Every structure is written in structure tokens, then in C-alpha cells.
Structure 1
């Protein structure tokens, strides 16, 4: 037991965090492990009396089959304190891993680049282009990052066959002298060695951002969102835990999944007349996005309607309108009333970003959220993108905003 400090602040009520990981080679329970361990460090620093438990729950998949969820619970060892914090994880990595080839990733990047250039070159979009170029962060992304990524993928796609073949021959020759992971198929291992992490990261984003109903990857996106929504609903309905508040926390592409999950809830609540379901939604008190590309993803999706398709464009805007700024939505004399009435006004949205994280940024496309710049020490790139997980100030900020009451 940790000695209780009379000046300590104590968590309030019964809280559930639903964590959604980002791109990369993720393993089950890793996201939960990172988050819970660093939350524990924060509580140790606060000298709070607490215990940590591993719990299980029966959950259902969209297919109807059941699975066993493992999650962790932090609760007080002080009988006078009845707070608890459960940390859940939505693990979606297998849905996108090794599903898309390098040429397909290149095609996606080139289509995205060509589509965005075409969209902003239209005469009726001149005001949007002016707004984009007035924002330094978006200008940098629009002018350089997407083009550089496309050039990199073109070069990699050209050298990839020869590079992989060369690595395969080397592994085949030295295989008898190696152990461990090198004992797997030399051809399979050559792909892992030859493919840089950036290509795998872009592959995850490419699969998730493809919304064309004719694409085979559309089903992957739908499955990810269906399972995320089902798990969130199960947590909200959990009578035994009986949470006072549920907070979605998404890193990187996981922030887009978290946002899209809430957007789906807005649509569902607009269709439902069940007051009990609407009361359950009131338990969702927070959305935490960190290392988030949400602005960039919205930027990608803006070319979903062709020039002149103002009816289709307006419908798509309605279906993706959760916390979208009014000025970000095209003005039209038609469809002035949005049929999607969101019931999530109580959600406190906090976006954390770091200037040396190439994925994240200040979210300007949305409204009613707090943008918080982080100041940990990390180099530009992957280190900057992952630094949130171990930054003490990140957990201190989360606790201040969602967990504590003064005594």
C-alpha cells in the first residue's frame, strides 16, 4: 500500500478508457500496457493508495461469435474511496496487416495527390485554396509532404523487386547459420527486411481511407468501425462496471477510428427513438486524440464528390459532420437542415499534438475542442510521433481534465 498524502487529489467515480492504437506492427495488449504503466507512474507520484487488477469480460463480435476481453482496473485500497479506472483496448491491427501491396499503396498516394490538386484547382474552390494556403501547417503538407511521399513510393516501387530478391538470396545462403526468427521462410522474411516502416504505416492509412464501395478494402474499414462500435456499446452497457464516464482515446490513425465511431453513434442516435439508448450515450464524456491526422484525413476525403455533384457532396457532408466547423462545409441553398442530429454535446474533446510529429497537428477543421501542444524532448519523425505514450505531462493533463476531484 502507498502512504496516503492528505493533500492528494482523488479520482472521481467510475471511469473507463477505451484505447485505440495507431498504425504499425502492434501486438495485442501493448497499447493497454503502455497507457496503464504510465498512468500508474502518475498515481505513484501522487502517492495515492491503489491496486491493479486484471479482469475479463465476455464480448460479442459483429459476426455473432464471442471472445474474451482482458482489461485492467485501477482502484483504491482505501475503503473510504470508491473510485475505479478501467483501461480497455480495441485491437484492430490484424485487419490491415499485409493486406495491401506496395504498387497499390503507390496508386493510392498518386490518386490522392492528383485528386487533391484537381479539387483545389477548380474555380468554385478558390476560396478553399486561399484558406488552405493561409495556414502554414496545411500549406507545408499540401505543397511538400504529399508530393514527397508519392516520389518516395515511386522510387521504392521501382527498386523494391530487385531489393527484395537480393535480400532473399542473402538470407537463403546464410540461413543455415542463423537462428530464431531467421528460421522462418527466407522469402517472407525478405519482405519484412526490405519494406521500411513508413511503407507499412502508409499502407494502414491507405486501406482505412479508401471509401470507394467498389474497392475490396472498403470491407476492411467497415469491419474496423463495426467492431469498434460494438465494443464501445458493450462498455457503455456493462451493468457490473456501471461506469459514470467513458473516454475514447485514439493515437495516430486510432484517433480517426475513434472519431468515426462517434460519428456513427451520431447517425444511429438520429435514427433511434429509444430514450434508454440516448441516455447511455450521455456516459461518453471525453474524446482524446493524440498524434492525430484527422485534419489530413478530412483533406483526403474532400474529393469524394465530383464537380457539379452538389447533392451528393451535401449528403456526404451530413454523414461526416460531427464537430465539423460550419465554414468547412460547403454553402448551398439546398439541404440546409442536417438530418444527422448529434447527441454528444457533452463530449470534451482534447487534441494533443507535437511539432516534431509529422502525423499530428493543430486540428483546424473541427470545432468545440481543445488543442494542446506537447513539449517533450524527441526527434522529428517516429520518435516524435510515439512520445506521447511516455510523457508524464500527457497523463497529468488527462488526470486533471477527466479524473480528479479536490479534497
Structure 2
């Protein structure tokens, strides 16, 4: 029996964060994220787990955590951050899927080829929410080409003074240097991963293999019954790909009517919200959005435990995207919205809610054969990962490229009305200027925009609710409901 005042011990949960683009240092993203969702959320830990902050011993106490070696990441540069048992009797392990080292070395030619592909399209194929991105990219290309031209011809400009020629050369050199210093490290990652081309296939495969190795090990670890996949920026595209690949392997199969009643009941609840893959328009919103989210959680609960008939469990309950360029998928990943929707219909991409097995709608199930005693067996199709995984997307839409996070945005148009889109307004040391990296910053201030009920949450409160360490929908789960604190 647990000691008085202590919750009974439960299986652990894992939170995996996939960092964004740029020259990331191992564990930098992970440390900051853990501070936001665990260390400074004192309501999540019992009083005896509150300790002085080593970085500020005289300040507010924080929740204890440890950095421990772990072999699952296949890297000695990375560690696992683990917590003590929380108020619900559960430990959480935080992992980082680090991939920046794989995409190093992108050439100017590869970046130029990607930018050319981005710009070379009809005006009608540029979605409204991506027009700002298109214009800024076009202006940047014009500036770089102009600088390169000036740099190449400055030596022949005998009709201008030596001083003027030197200034022009310095300015042009600065523009070219900026491309090497900032363009390649950041947008080179995008060019190396986003689109499948001959020059990118190898690096894409290496990134995915590293992610799949980590997630498969966590999925098959009996010590965990839940995984939360959190991703930022370009990392959200990587994480989305990993989800689809994993679901194809771990999805529920060989379901029989009598033996798998609970699983089939949970799947039928999802069927009420499935999308059609024909030419009909998707609904702007679901009639019962909260009910759909509950149904996703229930199906995850039914699938998270393995047995002799179903040896592969599905444990990823939540997918959280922060500042995600997936909002521009029809522009970045495919050529236009029609091509992206075709990919949805062909199950190259997964929608939320999932599309039905038939174009006219209905169920995500199909019959795949018969069992040992001739009983019909059914399976959920490989494009239905969001039948059992909730998707929460947090974004900061500002005034074009002047404020907010222009990379981010809502997901409904591309991925369906089952994604919970939450807009926040972030402010950092530069105010509202480019807030792309502030979603888990404790130094930034932020507030939920258009809160559906009650007082708007802080950006940290929104993040904590999305990760949901307290599992609000878990039966008999007495999760604390105190407001988020810094």
C-alpha cells in the first residue's frame, strides 16, 4: 500500500521533443522545454520534490529532475531528463530527438535549387497564407543575386571612385556572407529535408532512422504506457513523417468482432468524424470536437497494451506542434493544395480526423483476411494515425513578417478540423518581432488569443495543457487543475 498522502505508483510516460532548424546544440532545446513544462510547474510535484534552483538558490523552488545516461538515443552527447514520482504517482522521462548533425553541409547549390523550386510556380498555386513567405523569399533572392553581380563587376567599375567601389564591395560581400552564415545553417536544413529529391533522400533517411530507432524502443518498453511527441519548427515535419511510418507498423490489425469488442467500439466512435476523400469540401469544424478528442484518447487507451494477439502496442497519445511550417504544407511539401489533397486521398499524408477507407466516407476499417478459425479480421488503414493520437497545434500569427511567427499558422485547411489550433501572442526582448523561438521561453510573456472559456491562459499554460502530464482524460485520474505558474 502506498504511504499516506502518496499516489499509487503507475507506469511512466515519455515526452520526446524534436528540435527545429538551425545550428542547435545537443540538449539545449530539451533543457528549456523541461523547465517550462515540469521544473517550474510546482503543482505537478509533491512538496518533498521541491528543491532550490541551482541557478538561483535564493529564488523560487523548482521541481527536482535528473539528467541520466540513456542508450535509446544512440548518442553519448544526449541524455534523458527524468523526474521523481509526481502527484499522480507517475514519472516522466524527457528525450530529445537530435538531428542537426545529419543535415550539416548543405551546399549553396542545394539551397538555390530548393528556393528556385519554391518560387517557380503559378501565382494561383501560392496560397494566401504563404504569399508573405513567397514575397520575402523572392526579395531575398533578388538581393543576393544583385549583391553577387555587384561583387563580380566591382573591379571593373573604373568610372566610380575607389572609396565608393570599396563600400559597394563590402556591402555585397556582407550579403553573400549572410547567406553562408545564416541562410545555409537555417534554411539549409529545410532544403535538406522537406522535399524528397535525389539530393535529399540520403539525409532524410538518416534523420528518420534515428527517430524511428528511438520511438520504437520507447514503444516496446514495458515501463512506459504513454508517449507524447512534441516538435518545433522544421522538427514538426520530421515528427509528422515519423508518426505516419510508425503507425503503418503499429496500427491495430487482426481485429475480430467477439475478441476485440472494446477496440472496435473505440474505433467506431472515431468513425463518426471521418472525412471523405472525394472532391467534397471538408467541414470547417466538427459537430462534437471535444467528443472526438475523447474518442482519440479512448482508442489510444485500448491500443497501448500489447497481448498475444496484438503484440505491437500504440503508445503515442499526443502530437504537439509549435511554430510549425506544416501550415504551409501545400506550398512547401507539394506544389499546390490540389496536389496535397490528392496525397491525402492516396494516404501519402494523414488527416485529422482520418479519412475513411472508402472515398464516400464511413469507417477507417477494412477487412484484411480471416483468422485461424475462419473468423473475419479487420484492420485500421495506414493513413489513420490521428484516430488514436490527438494533435494540438500552437501558433503565433502576427502582422505578416513584422511581428509574431510567420512560419506558423492553423492546420485546418490542410489537415482537417480535428486539429486543436491554439493561437498565442508572444512577446520577447524585441517585443513582437519574430517570436518563433519563444513558445517555451520562461523569459517571454505570452497569452492565449480568443480563449474559448474562462480567463486566457499564459503561453506556458497552453503548452502544459497540450503536453498534459496530468492526463486529464485518464479514468480515475485526479490531475491538479491549478493555473500554470512560471
Confirm whether residue 96 of structure 1 aligns to residue 125 of structure 2.
no
Asked if the contact 2:318/2:391 (under 8 Å) is kept, the reply is: yes
Q: Shift of the alpha carbon at 1:234?
A: 1.1
Cα deviation, 1:3-55, whole Å, max 9, x if unaligned, reads xxx9xx99985221100000111011111111122234432476743231122
Residue in structure 1 matched with residue 465 of structure 2 by the alignment? 400
Aligned residue runs from structure 1 range 230-249, under 5 A: 230-239=213-222, 242-249=223-230
Q: Shift of the alpha carbon at 1:71?
A: 0.7
Residue in structure 2 matched with residue 203 of structure 1 by the alignment? 188
Residue in structure 2 matched with residue 352 of structure 1 by the alignment? 394
Q: Shift of the alpha carbon at 1:289?
A: 0.2
Describe the shift of the 1:319–1:140 C-alpha distance in structure 2 as closer, same or farther (beyond 3 A): closer
Describe the shift of the 1:238–1:326 C-alpha distance in structure 2 as closer, same or farther (beyond 3 A): closer
Q: Shift of the alpha carbon at 1:295?
A: 2.2
Asked if the contact 1:282/1:344 (under 8 Å) is kept, the reply is: no
Q: Shift of the alpha carbon at 1:304?
A: 9.0
Aligned residue runs from structure 1 range 3-402, under 5 A: 14-44=12-42, 48-49=46-47, 50=49, 51-59=64-72, 69-76=78-85, 82-101=89-108, 103-115=109-121, 117=122, 120=124, 138-142=127-131, 144-159=132-147, 195-212=180-197, 215-239=198-222, 242-269=223-250, 280-303=312-335, 317-323=346-352, 340-342=382-384, 344-355=386-397, 356-364=404-412, 365-367=414-416, 368-378=418-428, 379=430, 383-391=434-442, 393-401=458-466, 402=468
Higher RCO structure, 1 or 2 (CA under 8 Å, sep 6+)? 1
Describe the shift of the 1:112–1:74 C-alpha distance in structure 2 as closer, same or farther (beyond 3 A): same
Asked if the contact 1:285/1:348 (under 8 Å) is kept, the reply is: yes
Q: What runs of 5+ residues in structure 1 fail to find an aligned partner?
A: 1-5, 122-131, 133-137, 167-189, 332-336
Describe the shift of the 1:243–1:384 C-alpha distance in structure 2 as closer, same or farther (beyond 3 A): same
SS state at 2:94 partner:
strand
Asked if the contact 2:331/2:337 (under 8 Å) is kept, the reply is: no
Q: Shift of the alpha carbon at 1:348?
A: 1.7
Asked if the contact 1:16/1:88 (under 8 Å) is kept, the reply is: yes
Describe the shift of the 1:157–1:105 C-alpha distance in structure 2 as closer, same or farther (beyond 3 A): farther
Q: Shift of the alpha carbon at 1:68?
A: 7.6
Bigger share in helix: 1
Q: Shift of the alpha carbon at 1:145?
A: 2.0
Describe the shift of the 1:11–1:302 C-alpha distance in structure 2 as closer, same or farther (beyond 3 A): farther
Asked if the contact 1:253/1:292 (under 8 Å) is kept, the reply is: yes
Using the alignment, how far apart are the partners of 1:278 and 1:18 within structure 2?
25
Cα deviation, 1:137-167, whole Å, max 9, x if unaligned, reads x41423x421330331242245259879x9x
Describe the shift of the 1:156–1:192 C-alpha distance in structure 2 as closer, same or farther (beyond 3 A): closer
Q: TM-score, normalised by structure 2?
A: 0.59
Describe the shift of the 1:154–1:222 C-alpha distance in structure 2 as closer, same or farther (beyond 3 A): farther
Give the total of aligned pairs: 343
Q: TM-score, normalised by structure 1?
A: 0.70
Residue in structure 1 matched with residue 261 of structure 2 by the alignment? none
Asked if the contact 1:106/1:154 (under 8 Å) is kept, the reply is: no
Cα deviation, 1:108-146, whole Å, max 9, x if unaligned, reads 12222224x27x46xxxxxxxxxx8xxxxx41423x421
Q: Shift of the alpha carbon at 1:196?
A: 4.9
Describe the shift of the 1:316–1:93 C-alpha distance in structure 2 as closer, same or farther (beyond 3 A): farther
Using the alignment, how far apart are the partners of 1:91 and 1:319 within structure 2?
25
SS state at 1:319 partner:
coil
Q: Shift of the alpha carbon at 1:200?
A: 3.1
Using the alignment, how far apart are the partners of 2:203 and 2:88 within structure 1?
43
Using the alignment, how far apart are the partners of 1:362 and 1:28 within structure 2?
29
Cα deviation, 1:168-208, whole Å, max 9, x if unaligned, reads xxxxxxxxxxxxxxxxxxxxxx9876635345322211111
Cα deviation, 1:337-379, whole Å, max 9, x if unaligned, reads 8952535522121100011101101112113221011122245
Q: What runs of 5+ residues in structure 2 fail to find an aligned partner?
A: 50-63, 155-174, 256-305, 361-365, 367-379, 398-403, 446-457, 471-477, 481-486
Using the alignment, how far apart are the partners of 1:211 and 1:249 within structure 2?
23
Larger mean CA deviation between 19-28 and 219-228 belongs to 219-228
Describe the shift of the 1:346–1:400 C-alpha distance in structure 2 as closer, same or farther (beyond 3 A): same
